[in-house]
Structure 1
Amino acid sequence: MPRPDHTRALHAALITAARGLPVIPLSRSKLPAVRSPHRDEARTTACRGECGRPGHGVHDATTDPAAVRALFAVAPWATGYGIACGRAPLHLVGVDLDVKHGTDGVTALRTLAESHGFTVPQTVTVLTPSGGRHLWFTAPGPVPNSAGRLAPGIDIRGTGGYVVGPGSRTVAGRYLLAPGTGAHPLAEAPPTLLQLAAPPPPPLREPEDERPRHPMEKRAAALVRFVLDSHEGERNGRLFWAACRAYDSGFGAALAPALVTAAVHTGLSEREAAATVASAGRLRASAEP
């Protein structure tokens, strides 16, 4: 027999899907509930659903009610649902305002709006168990994910990411619609906010005849280019490999900022990119005699 939390989450997910927002079931840990069909394979795969089976995270997200019910049916432990961001035609953007660990994203966004001269419009707002909130906006096109780039306590959920939907229960508690906001239409994200959320430009490529001639500089430039050429599904792996090679060559600390910037340009968040580079540094440090 379905558990009440599972039934409530499915019902809320169907309502959200009817608004044109694609959804997936989530576990109590806020992770996709449908297990990967490739989990027992010896090698990792870049499959995003081409195999025809469910279990590919945000790539499973759908607005089709029958498909939503099918996803929840194979994950009876699901107690929540996620809403895929960045999908056409709405290109949902979730602005995650955190108020824990000494940060106050709500105040930070207000300060940001005042200092840059834009207004945060009323829109659908979700209250999080920690006391924070998610603001839902539409965008004219894809917006990258970021963590803390705008200000401490402000994360952006864009293309490839998802927000936890209202009516979900997680280990931290329930996600609920803020009173009076459920009937709001999705507001357009302020253009200035989207400009501020854009990733920094990639490192400039030098003209052929002015490229570094020193072998070490050539090696560093090649590692940055290796990261810039990453595609979804391989970005973290290529970044980690490049960072390890940089530390092996003795210039890991010096090249780390450029590697992080390059990774952000491919779509990783600054926090995730910095953590990956730091992991490579720790690995190489522990391997030293």
Structure 2
Amino acid sequence: MDASWPLGRAAMVFAQSGVPVFPCAPEGKRPITRRGFHDATTDPAQVEAWWRRFPAANIGMPTGRASGVSVVDVDVHGVNGFDAIRAARREGLVHGWETMVRSPTGGLHIYFPAADSEQPSWQAGRAGVDFRGDRGYIIVPPSRRQIDGESVLYRPTSFAPTDGRALDARACGSFSPRPGPARRPARSRMQGRWWMRVGWRPG
């Protein structure tokens, strides 16, 4: 998958690879469809229809068990989330990632296989770290955002050489005043480094 690909073509590759997607506002993050990530699908006919109507729509992907992927979202707005992630890494809390994607604002999305059991999304704004799990979604490459008048891509930057493992969202929830309930992580049903199937490459 190349950054120059039309977004509709990229969305179709996701769908054909078994990864559900839905359209979001061009160069934005707001879902276009009425039910948002609940409308996500792998149906090629529906995906083609959406992007024929909205060719510049960014690509949204539901997180958690819906897609088999969970994401740690590291923010840099007002607080440096990288400080919290470095601390979590020293504690062994964020091992097992599979893919890293640089966001247009300078943050980082760290992709993990989702656990088979529910791990709800949570936010820890004071730490600059969010967890996108069940009932959440993320914008995926080659989508882009308008930043200071410039169109900036979401860019895959790093790939683990082996399959990852599910994140312990409860342990990472120590960053959050409202962590989700404790669950034992398990290997995702969607194994095999799905990003290889959609053709992501470091940008």
> TM-score over 0.5 for the alignment?
yes
Matched, 1:60 2:58: no
Identify which of 93, 98, 121 aligns with 1:145.
121
Q: Which AA in structure 1 matches 2:74? A: L
Larger mean Cα displacement after TM superposition, 155-164 or 62-71: 62-71
Separation (CA, whole Å) in 1 of partners of 2:17 and 2:162? 10
Separation (CA, whole Å) in 1 of partners of 2:140 and 2:164? 17
Identify which of 93, 118, 142 aligns with 2:70.
93
1:15 match: 13
Identical-pair percentage:
31
1:161 match: 136
Choose 1 or 2 for highest CA Rg: 1
Give ranges in structure 2 of 5+ residues lacking alignment.
Answer: 182-203
Give ranges in structure 1 of 5+ residues lacking alignment.
Answer: 35-54, 201-259, 267-289
Report SS of the residue matched to 2:6: helix
Structure 1 segments, 4+ long, off by >4 Å, are 183-186
Separation (CA, whole Å) in 2 of partners of 1:69 and 1:76? 10
Q: Would the aligned equivalents of 1:143 and 1:198 in 2 still touch at CA under 8 Å? A: no
- CA separation of 1:155 and 1:74: change in aligned 2, threshold 3 A: same
> 5 Å matches for 1:1-289?
8-27=6-25, 28-34=27-33, 55-78=34-57, 80-88=58-66, 90=68, 92-101=69-78, 103-114=79-90, 116-118=91-93, 120-138=95-113, 139-148=115-124, 152-172=127-147, 173-178=152-157, 180-181=158-159, 187-191=164-168, 193-197=169-173
What TM-score comes out, normalization by structure 1 length? Answer: 0.52
Alpha-carbon displacement from aligned partner over 1:189-244 (angstroms, at most 9, x marks no partner)? 333x44333899xxxxxxxxxxxxxxxxxxxxxxxxxxxxxxxxxxxxxxxxxxxx
Cα-Cα RMSD: 3.2
Larger relative contact order, structure 1 or 2 (CA cutoff 8 Å, min sep 6): 2
